[in-house]
Every structure is written in C-alpha cells, then in structure tokens.
Structure 1
Amino acid sequence: MADTVGSSPPAAEAASVMTPINLILLSLFAYIVYLRLRPATPQTLPRAPPPTVFRTFTPPTLLPYNGLNGMPVYLAVRGRVFDVTSGRNFYGPGGPYANFAGRDASRGLACGSFDEEMLTKDLEAPLDTLEDLGSEEMEALQGWEERFSEKYLVVGKLVAVGSEEAKATGT
C-alpha cells in the first residue's frame, strides 16, 4: 500500500501529458517534419534563346533587323554584323543609336557622329571602304569594334549587293 500513496492514478498522468502546450508543440513538430519530407517542386529552367545562324547580309537584307515589329537589332561594323538586341534600349527604336540599327554603323562610329548623314543612302551601292578616314578615326572605330566583339555575338557578315558572296548565298 505504501507504493500507492502519493502516486497519481494512470488516467491523471495521461491527462497531464496532453496539455494544450504539448499539443501545440506536437503539431508544430509534425508540420516541420512534413516540410522537410515533402517532395520539392521541380525547378523550371528558362527557355534557351533560338540558335543563331551565321549568315551573309547585304545592306537591303540587313535593314529589317532594326528592332521594329519584334525583329532583333543588328548592326554592322567593318563588315561584321553584331546582334545588339540585348542593348535594344541603346540601338533599338527610340534609343540614341537607333539610326544605326539594321545598317552599317562603321562611318558614324569612327567619326563619333550619330547623324543620319553618316549612313549610306543607296543600299544597292558598294560598301563604304572608309579609305578617307584618318588614323584617329580608324582607331576610334577599332575601339568600337573591340567593344562590340566583347559584348555582342557576331551573327554574320555584310557584303555588297551583287558581290560574289551575295550571289553564292542568294542574298
């Protein structure tokens, strides 16, 4: 009998374990276990940009790549065509260099002029050879070309209308 004196009955012990705070802690523990063991949602990768094919452009075939109507923005520098679409805010419609989009920008970049007069008016004419430019202008152009090469992808080359390369590619 001495064993039963001072001890609580088994029902009272069970009731003392099921206190509101213990129920809250048990629920919190179960929720944390659920968070740890639930399957993770699969990560979705961004879509890859469409593949760029190196191609030959003539001034008339380069012109549509001016950023209008959802087109990419390309410009040419010394015969190399760069995809400057990622710099659309500079080279696309409304940008400070927008008049170079879809055109040969070599003379304008060399002369530091973004005026319309720097662009070849007759797209069927031979390409600008830049022979009349001085050494400072050619150095400036080389700096621009290096900058474009570091930042943008070369997507093609610019050739004159009627040239052998244009005829060979059908442009």
Structure 2
Amino acid sequence: MSIVGAFVASLQEHPINVVLLGIITYQASSLFRLSSSSSQSQGSIPTSYNESYNWKPEKHPKCTVWKRYTPKTLEPFSGRDGGQILLAIDRKIFDVTNGRNFYDGMYGNFAGRDASRGMAKQSFDEEMLTPIDQAIDKLEDLTREEVANMQGWVEHFTGKYTVVGELVENGDD
C-alpha cells in the first residue's frame, strides 16, 4: 500500500483525522501568509508612537558598553554641556541622564562622582564627596542604618536607571 493510500485509509478509519488535517492546514497557511505580508510591509512601519501602537524609532537607540570607571574617568560624565550623566553608589555606575532635572538640581554635585556617602547620610553637601585623586571611600564608619539607606538607594537606582559599569580605584581601569 502506498503512502497516499495509507493516508486515505487512516482518514476513513478515524474521522477525527480530517478535523486535525484541517487545523494543521489552516495553521500552516496562516503562518506563510503572515511571513509574506510582514516582509512586504516593512517600508510602511510607523516611526512615531502617535501613529500606531507598534512603531519603530527613526534611528537605533544609543548602545552603552558596560565598563570600569575610576573616580578620574567618571568625573567628565557630570552632564555639563548636555552630555551623559553618570554617578556611582556602592561601586555601581548608573546612567542617570534620563533624570537630568534632578542632576542639574540639588543632586548636581553627585553627577560624575561617587555618591555613596551622600546617599547613605542623606546629605548633598560637598564634604560627602571624596576628591577624585584619592582612594575610593571605604565607608567603614557608616552605621547600619546608613548602610541600609545606601542599599535602598542602590535598589531604587537599579530599578530606575541602567547600570553601565563599576567604580574601581584610580589606575585599575
């Protein structure tokens, strides 16, 4: 018996196979229709969220490479002249550029710096910042509450901003 004959005999013996064959045929044809129609309409994808729920930006978003920063290499990322704003908390570097309003305001002295002590102590004072040519603050004198407070800020920033690197000692980059 040929393959076609066996197939026809199977359909006659078990009528449910006819239904299953119909479902498989429909699914396969819709799969092919979907792929051919999407490839033809590539040029008509909207480039604004105002035009459609599904849209493609005009250009690819800027990619960030995770890297190691020292206090000296972090300092230029203070957002001056509209540039990128990075800051460190507990040796994690966050890209806070999207929060520019905060980092041009009262948090401004943390931009491009290690903000760990200031975040732990809830202080925006300049003395909370370690000079960039000195070793990274080991934070050994912080109380448990201050360490917990700093960790709370790390969690908050991790949920809100992108971690783009780690803070290492000068000369270790």
Q: TM-score, normalised by structure 2?
A: 0.67
Distance 2:70 2:170 in 1: 6
Counterparts of 1:83 and 1:111 in 2: how far apart (Å)? 22
Pick one of 35, 43, 46 that aligns with 1:43: 46
**Aligned-residue offset at 1:49:** 1.8
Question: Counterpart of 2:125 in structure 1: which amino acid?
Answer: D
Which runs of 5 or more residues in structure 2 are unaligned? Answer: 1-43, 48-55
Give the Å deviation of 1:147. Answer: 0.1
After the TM superposition, which parts of structure 1 deviate over 4 Å for at least 4 consecutive aligned residues? none
Task: State the shift of 1:96 in Å.
Answer: 1.4
2:26 counterpart residue number: none
RMSD value over aligned CA atoms?
A: 1.7
1:160 corresponds to? 169
SS of 2:117's partner is helix
The residue identity in structure 1 corresponding to 2:100 is R
Structure whose CA Rg is larger: 1
Q: The residue matched to 1:48 in structure 2 has which SS?
A: coil
Unaligned runs of 5+ in 1: 1-40, 167-171
- Taking structure 1 as the reference length, the TM-score comes to 0.68
Count, aligned residues? 123
For residues 66-81 of structure 1, the aligned pairs below 5 Å read 66-81=78-93
Distance 2:86 2:101 in 1: 13
The separation in 1 between residues aligned to 2:151 and 2:45, in whole angstroms, is 47
Q: Is the 8 A contact 1:124 1:160 kept in 2?
A: no
Relative distance call for 1:70 and 1:132 in structure 2 (3 A) is same
| Matches of 2:109 and 2:144, distance apart in 1 | 25
Percent identity, aligned pairs only?
A: 53
